[in-house]
Structure 1
Amino acid sequence: MAPDHKDQIFGTIGLAPGIEDAMVKRLTLGETGGPARTSYEVRLIRTEPGFAVYATDITRLVQAETVQRDILQTLTKTFASLTIGLTVFDRTRSLALFNPALIDMTGLQPEFLIARPGLISFFDALRDRQVMPEPRNYGTWRTQINEMVETARGGLYQEVWSLPTGQTYRVTGRPYPDGDVAFLFEDISIEISATRRHRLQMDLRQSVIDHLEQGIAVLSDDGSLIFCNAAFGALIGIDPDRSLVEMRLHDVIAACRERSFGTGPWGDIEQRIASNALTAPIRYSIALPDNSALALQVLPLGRGQAMLTLSKHQSALLNAAALETG
């Protein structure tokens, strides 16, 4: 203890006649000639002769409390700025913490949340406001909620709620070692809409390409078949969607060679694509034994990817051998 702190402590607490039998007080005193400050917890206890004064240096404790308070304020500001709704239920399953985003997402009244409702009451309120899917059997719904909490305690709970309003929430339950359970409510409506829109666009694109008479196949830089329309599959007799293994360049070339009864520059095409030596479009006309012909194009797509196109046409003038036309 600094030499002048003793006098400052006695001067601060005073010893008035009406003082209680015991008193606890915190004091923060400065050092003479310097900015350093020391915090004390002072205990004043009445004894037979008079008073006993105990002063304990709690500077580190006060500093730790200050840091904790600053962290709590930072977390509070962070939670307040989150767009994800947050609820934390303590081990007694009472609401212990929530953030403003939860109010915005659920429409629950702040007074209701401040009153620390129980877990079932909270989800009852969500159900009443149609902020959770309507249970098919209300009699077993409460049991399902309890099971949901138990699942969350195991760190496994995550569910997507499609609401009657058209919104979609992703609800995640996260357990904590002390028995608390946090639930995160994330509005993924835009994400889901974008995914559905993208899927519809992809399905439409696939449908359009499948209706083309020209067969189209795309190979990745590692030789994997990443796209094949219906016409291409029909022309060479493959169905990648039903294949149990991934089709690769060699498999596609083998199917083409078999379909054309061995004719055609398939070995050269395979070598060029495999060695990434395809720098310009190549066109072939491949005669088939039934007097039909396959018009073949091999086009580089960049980054080692290649596209094959096939179209069938009739011609009585074609020779039986494959003729390179470009």
Structure 2
Amino acid sequence: MKTTTSIAEMQKFIFGSKVYCSDGESGVLTHIGLDAKNWRMVVLGIRLGRLFGRTVYVPFNTVASASSEKVTLTISRDELERARKDAPGAAMFDSHARVFHVESGAEGGLSLIAVYPDNGEVAYIVTKGLKGLDVLLERAYLKQLESGRIEASLPESTLQALPAYRSDQELQSEVEENIFDLGPLHIDFRGMEIRVLDSVLYLDGNISSSLRSDMVGDQAMGVAGLLEIKNRLIADDELASELAMVMSRDERTKDLPIGVYPRLGHVRLSGSVHNKKQHAAAEEIVSGFPGVQSVENELRVDPNASMLYVLSSAGNEESKDHVPSDKYVRHTK
């Protein structure tokens, strides 16, 4: 597959997915049309209304986004209502389409088509029940297509060695179990948002350190069936450094003895400022920073403040306080 587009960025189409226009839900995806020569998606068939509603066809370039959850179009519901009602000249596929394995003659169902968002070219498909397997087949294995039929060619040994394509629910459950099994991560669990969509793991939220963020990613890598991991966790140590840097560059808080102490994104400000405006400015800067969940402002207003008073760490290790200037980075034991 192409390396310039990640799995997460690809558009995935599943028959039966809900379709949304720019102004709301409008129908269900029933058909996909591909150009048989260049393997590019050219049209979508959408059923309007309920069971016996009519089907209309819109070009691929009206697609804004597509995942296993829904397809979103750039056009309005009125524009969709006026779309063409006859199927265009393309190889058409629906929920009854089949995937044939050339080497064995076996066949399975077609459950998903993934394409590159810029040109609609097929990146991979997912087939169900091919020799008893649910597997992802990359474009390199796909040799020929016609309406309702895709032929795949790969050695039997290669087919059997492909990892099983698993549901998002299965993958998410195993990811959560793997992460929770690692004792040190228990305190971080409540700050994380874990979600699997189209076999891609998204890790969002806050975590206590960059080291633990790496640990979470390493634990998730052991889950078979994940196609990609998007680790977007915000670590407290990195957040503290970034906040201190931002305040050191803001004229309102520059060189002030302010300590920054995040805990899973909940930030406590400690130290002193010279006036109420600086007190409010520090909170404003921190509260608007990405990754900050809340701010506990314990700053004291002291016109003569020049030193940051800190508490000793619980153990014998050295701790570091992040403040808005190197002048006030202090180490304590």
> Between Structure 1 and Structure 2, which shows a larger proportion of strand residues?
2
Looking at CA atoms only, which structure, 1 or 2, has the larger radius of gyration? 1
Shorter-chain TM-score: what band?
under 0.3
> Between Structure 1 and Structure 2, which shows a larger proportion of helix residues?
1
Query: Normalising by structure 2, what TM-score?
Result: 0.20
